[in-house]
Amino acid sequence: MEFRKVLALRGPNIWANFPVIEAWVDLGELKDSASNAIPGFNERLMAWLPSMIEHRCSIGERGGFFERLRRGTYPAHILEHVTLELQSLAGADVGFGKARETSEEGVYRVIFRYREESLGRACLEAARDLLLAAIYDRPFDVAATINRLRDLGARVLLGPSTNAIVEAARARNIPHMRMNTASLVQFGYGSKQRRIQAAETDRTSAIAESIAQDKELTRMFLRSVGVPCAEGRPVVSAEDAWEAAQEIGGAVVVKPRDGNQGRGVAANISTREQVLQAYQAASEISDSVLVEKYAPGHDYRVLVVGGKVVAAARREPAQVIGDGVRTVAELVEIVNADPRRGEHHATVLSKIKLDVIALAVLAEQGLSPESVPPAGKVVFIRRNANLSTGGTAIDVTERVHPAVAARAIDAARAIGLDIAGIDIIAQDISIPLEEQGGIVVEVNAAPGLRMHLEPSVGISRPVGQAIIDMMFEPGDNGRIPIAAVTGVNGKTTVTRFIAHILKGTGKRVGMTCTDGIYVDDRRIDTGDCSGPQSARNILMNPTVDAAVFETARGGILRAGLAFDQCDVAVVTNIGDGDHLGLSEIHTVEDLAKVKRCIIDVVAPTGAGVLNAEDPLTAAMAPYCPGSVVFFAVDGQNPVLAQHRADGGRAVFVRDGIVVFAQGDREEPVLALERVPLTHGGTIRFEVENTLAAVGAALALQVPTEIIAARAESFAADMSKVPGRFNILEINGATCVIDYGHNAHALQAMIDALNTFPHQRRTAVYSTAGDRRDCDIVRMGELLGGAFDRVILYEDHYTRGRADGEIIGLFRQGLAANATRVQSIEEIRGAVASVEHALNTAQPGELMLIQADAIDETVDCVRRYLDALAVPQQAAEVEQIAAKVAAQASAPADEAAAPVKPSATTAKASLKVK
């Protein structure tokens, strides 16, 4: 049972619209081993994991999976269920899973939902170990495995406080991204994002947090606004602490000056021994210790969010109740067995610990851990009531007196915190503090929310919702406009075109494509950036107002989408497909399902923009949760016509005009002759790209006048769309540089070049090695029927093929269709092949340069043009200098007209002058 690879699909994917792990499992000798054919297997598995009786499986009822085991099912399916169960037992309750065969016998894909990737992977590994032990009747410590996974879950899953805020955001359709393994979370995208870390926001003041950390400084600020607080002072030694206690008189509290979570706090102590011992415990937490007057009463926590009291709880110190039989230590062990208690803050309650402070508190009561308290006697383990030291909480939100709420809000404002936990000591929270001698003892930044989410007594309070409502105004979901573009051909051009249009609206646009990552016109990363990590970088960028993502097949299959939802999804075409035979994508229908992922996540208020002329693309329409905009060159296309008849939106061409229609209503947008990308409307595939971009812009509610103006300034030059039908005149030859690298793209290119008048035609061509043999052969056939001269090359992207293998497949196709080709040449390297082609180009020749490595090819052409320009500029400058000299020596009445340098030499001639 070998794992070939394990992929974390962190966003919507081909299996689901939420994160899943996809494990490729080679079952080896177990591939034909049914569960009911392995002696004792079912009995062992059901005894080890009896809770799997809740798995309904395909039978659809409780016990359904166990019934499948009895009937006989296979290891991949069982691995799926065991992994899900281990995650649930570890604290991550998930329920989605699948097991699917691959084209290789005995190899399966096991897919399951996860909440935290590292826990999901650990449960998968543990599930395999458990299964193999059950299959081969080997011992397996199930309890130890579950405890290990629970401990991992407690460390890596979001804690209750952070998770409550995340769930509140999800309820408002606000996207979130976890930024680290701790509690840093981003809500929203781009310029609309906000961040939290636990119960702190990106607007929690560092100064305020520093003040709250300093208990003495906090007291000074509280007094300044009339909030009652405890008398006391800092101390520097144990003796000084005792002196301060005597000065104060009566019971005191000893605590670290900058501590938190109740650590090192001793309350209601009065003897010298108690104070000295408390000082020692507090000094281990902080270099500075406070001694304050003890205020009798209950310990309350009031939560203030955005200047409002949203929850309050009465906290009870850690305690046990005697039964006359068990020792204190045994009673603590029983309390700690409560599944709500844990070692980490991931659980609702914390375990009670018998540490040095607990021993001191027991001693004050004349007890030790070995003492057996009488039945009904309440034994305190702690004096302070923090949940982190084992305390419990009772919800009292409805009982808070308005005057108490006002003092809590004053305290938060005095310190400057947007979220604050106000600790109050009072006899009764329903009476003003001033009337009962109540005090505010602490103001806490990043307060824990556990006590309000799941109090021991009382109802849960929506504190996560309160925090999200403070961060995001009503109706604000933190989203920026997102357009996603996919398809087999035209993706990059359409992506760049949409971004170009959106920039005309005044938005700062982030874009990812196969050429890099761009923010407006600044390129911030290079290479193929059409995957989810690059898109995620844009979504994290706080300067980006709108995003346009080229979304490639490979990224979807490897890691899913970077976004949970988009406003517009464009699918340009599927055609004859590309990259078939990889990752279990064998047919164009398989490929269409992958590409459809962006359509599946269109917002209900958004739109899918689909090519009506491509059957597989048009068939995606029913899967779009939003509306659909069809585009087609032919306005009479039957799919488009029916869509319009149903009241739908469409973009098409009529008499050289791009028309937008909804039902019977039509609106002209722009003339194709004014769109330089289309070369006057003569290049069909660029017309299709224009329609897709215009449809997306209209769906994003960009005004038509802006669309028209921006389309007129979007040209197919090497600066705006490098390697996308760039036309150059070099050495008298017309050169077309294009990235198209599959049979569908090559056929479209040949159709476009057939509109050119040139007689002699050359192609410089290659493709990546991860295409099927038949696809490369087909491209060779197309080349053989369309070009007189073919220059084949290979470079670093052979992707597992032997040197010369790609060229050999091209030659097979050329031999099969040699109706036009007269000359076939082979060159090693993309740059070398381009240089060779340009050096041998003839005037009047039409040359296609296929730029499989765009940056390398474009840079090579630019260097070549620069090299050509130098001698030409020098010759023209020499001519200018001669004319200037002639003018200078001629009589005034015979002086020639001023010499004007050509545009290509203006800069050089100015330097000479």
Q: What is the 3-state secondary structure (H, E, C) of 763-787?
A: EEECCCCCCCHHHHHHHHHHHHHHC
Q: 348 with 391: CB under 8 angstroms? A: no
Beta strands per DSSP E along 287-428: 289-293, 298-305, 308-316, 319-321, 341-342, 349-350, 378-380, 392-395, 419-426
- Whole-angstrom Cα distance, residue 167 to residue 174? 10
What does the alpha-carbon distance between residue 689 and residue 671 come to, in Å, rounded to a whole number? 15
Residue 852 has which token pair? 């499989």
CB atoms within 10 A of CB 396: 21
pLDDT at 261: 63
What is the C-alpha to C-alpha distance for residues 509 and 547, in angstroms, rounded to an integer?
6
CA gyration radius for the chain? Answer: 36
Place of tokens 């630019």: 862
Helix (H, G, I), strand (E, B) or coil at 790: strand
- What are φ and ψ of residue 183, in 5° steps? -115, 20
Low-confidence ranges of the chain (pLDDT < 70): 260-262, 344-346, 870-913
Rounded to 5 degrees, what are φ and ψ at 629?
-115, 115
Using an 8 Å Cβ cutoff, are 582 and 770 in contact?
yes
What integer pLDDT is reported at residue 898 of this predicted model?
A: 46
| Other Cβ atoms closer than 10 A to 109 | 21
The beta strands (E) that lie in 462-589 are given as 482-486, 509-513, 516-519, 522-526, 546-550, 566-571
Find the helix or strand (DSSP H, E) in which 905 lies.
Answer: none
Tell me how far apart the alpha carbons of residues 189 and 674 are, in angstroms, rounded to a whole number: 35
pLDDT of residue 443: 96
Q: Comparing C-alpha atoms, which of 544, 375, 393, 569 is closest to residue 487?
A: 569
pLDDT score of 343: 76
Q: What is the pTM of this model?
A: 0.86
If you search the block for the tokens 């340069």, which residue do you land on?
849
* Alpha-carbon span 789 to 810, nearest angstrom: 13
- Cβ neighbors of 584 (< 8 A, separation 6 or more) are 102, 103, 109, 590
Count of H-run helices and E-run strands, the chain: 31, 38
Give, in order, the Cα–Cα distances in Å from 519 to each of 257, 395, 516, 580, 694: 47, 49, 10, 33, 21
Instruction: Provide the β-strand partners of residue 709.
Output: none
Strand pairing report for 419-426 and 392-395: unpaired
Looking at residue 551, what is its pLDDT?
97
Q: Which two tokens stand for residue 249?
A: 């008189």
- Residue 910 has a pLDDT of 28
Residues 6+ apart with CB under 8 A from 880: 899, 901, 905, 909, 912
Report how far apart the first and last C-alpha atoms of the chain are (Å, whole number): 78
